[in-house]
Structure 1
Amino acid sequence: MSKIGFIGLGIMGRPMAGHLLDAGHTLVTVKRGTLDAALAEKGMSEVASPKAVAEASDVIITMVPDTPDVESVLFGEDGVIEGLTPGTLVIDMSSIAPMQTQAFAKQITDAGGEFVDAPVSGGEGGAINAALTIMVGATTEGFERAKPYLEVVGKTITHIGGHGAGQTCKVANQIVVALTIEAVAEGLLFASKAGADVAKVRESLMGGLAQSKILDVHGERMIKRTFEPGFRVRLHQKDLNLALEGARTLNLSLPGTANAQQLFQACAANGGEDWDHAGIVRALEKLADHEVGQ
């Protein structure tokens, strides 16, 4: 069993850390307020800084919101790199910019570590059920070293390519997810305003070509009006910003992505940046002056 430093105990990180503890690994994290009681009961300990986490660990996993957060944890004052032991495996499971990921990988490699970018898809439910899809950018050696830990928290694990490739795949994933959520919202809104039983419409669509996990999970959220976050609007905005910034660099047009981003911005403008991203339907509802299910 390994000594793992786990930094980032949010909606996704908490259950992921719990699975690693259940698998018999020793976990340490940075002290941030009161440690989750369930993790404390399983033996997770706390230290003062990312540097101290690195000094106590053979493997370091980061699961934080954005690119600057990863940079701060790894390279800021008392950062991971200051306590890094040669040979330490650093797995970043955050969703961040691919180009910066390549730069982070070089810095960790130059310091003697092994860097793996391994962003995830599957939301809170996937994290709780250890069923995440994990997209990996790494050397072949790095992937093989990371795989046993990734298998504890994920179900579908794919080595996409070298450093940054996992993050590129995650950006593509977030484009597809955003546009599919928007499509589900538009379809259900149309059916509702036309006077159909929207729950029965969704049930019927689930048996045809329109069937999807998003229609299943987020379609139900839209109908039942349950917008407590599994994945927050503001985090999907962040991911679509990465997509649109990358598209500009590649001289690529992504009109559907840009439109989805504007709808998320409308949610944020109406106090919904911390809604679940299924809340995109609420922006469309304001335009239609109609609520799904009315």
Structure 2
Amino acid sequence: MTALTAPAPAPSGLRRVRALAAAETRLLLRNRTAVVNSVLLPLFLVAVVPAAGLGGDGPLGPRLAVTAVAVTLVFLTYYNLVTTYVARREELVLQRMRSGELTPAEVLLGTAAPTLLVTLVQVALVLAGTAVIGEWSTPTDVVLPVLALLGGAALMTLLAAASTSFTRTAESAQITTLPLVTLASVTSGVLVPLTAFPEQVAQVLRLTPVEPVVELARLGLAGQTWDGRTVDWAGAWAAAPQPLLVLAGWIALATLVAPRVFRWAPRR
């Protein structure tokens, strides 16, 4: 199981990952339901949050962008990868690929690549959309949102791998992913600002998996702290250490847990 933490693929490994990712992309495009869920549902949710007056205060453009980061990571990256990994496992695809030239890390990365690519495209589409409707605002800092998106994608991939341990079928993923989806919806600060909670409760919620991603994205894109204070570039970086450490901690924990619980073959 420790093979999940294998080093990054070598050049020949990258070619194998690209080939597997291309095959997974073709499978994704053939599944119309998956395409709709991957493309339209996150965009719909991104549009609903600001329209319903959720997601906190501030200009519409940054609010849309922050919402896009959180929604796509949870409803697209995490959910899609749980269903994909489980489906490939139950079809014995993972086991067969693992017995060939592909390393375990290459199998998982190649399988995840299309979903990760769609995640990046979704966020880019929302950013482009804010410019088209005239709501684009110059980010306070561009590094923090990039760290939020990349770190969040890595965390969601690892959590998806871990979640397959208690997900028997692709259909049951609708149930087994609910705890994280619900937790992220309530505690991330996207639907309900953390300022709506008592101070001590809010500080605890800042330690949940998705909140630091949202906090970093909001610092960089909107120049706002978790408690609604407006900050400049220096203030954004001054407020960044805690969410960066919390996000890094979750990634480290997931890196330890996922290899130990991930199953390559179905239970018989």
Normalising by structure 1, what TM-score? Answer: 0.26
Structure with the higher helix share, 1 or 2: 2
Normalising by structure 2, what TM-score? Answer: 0.28
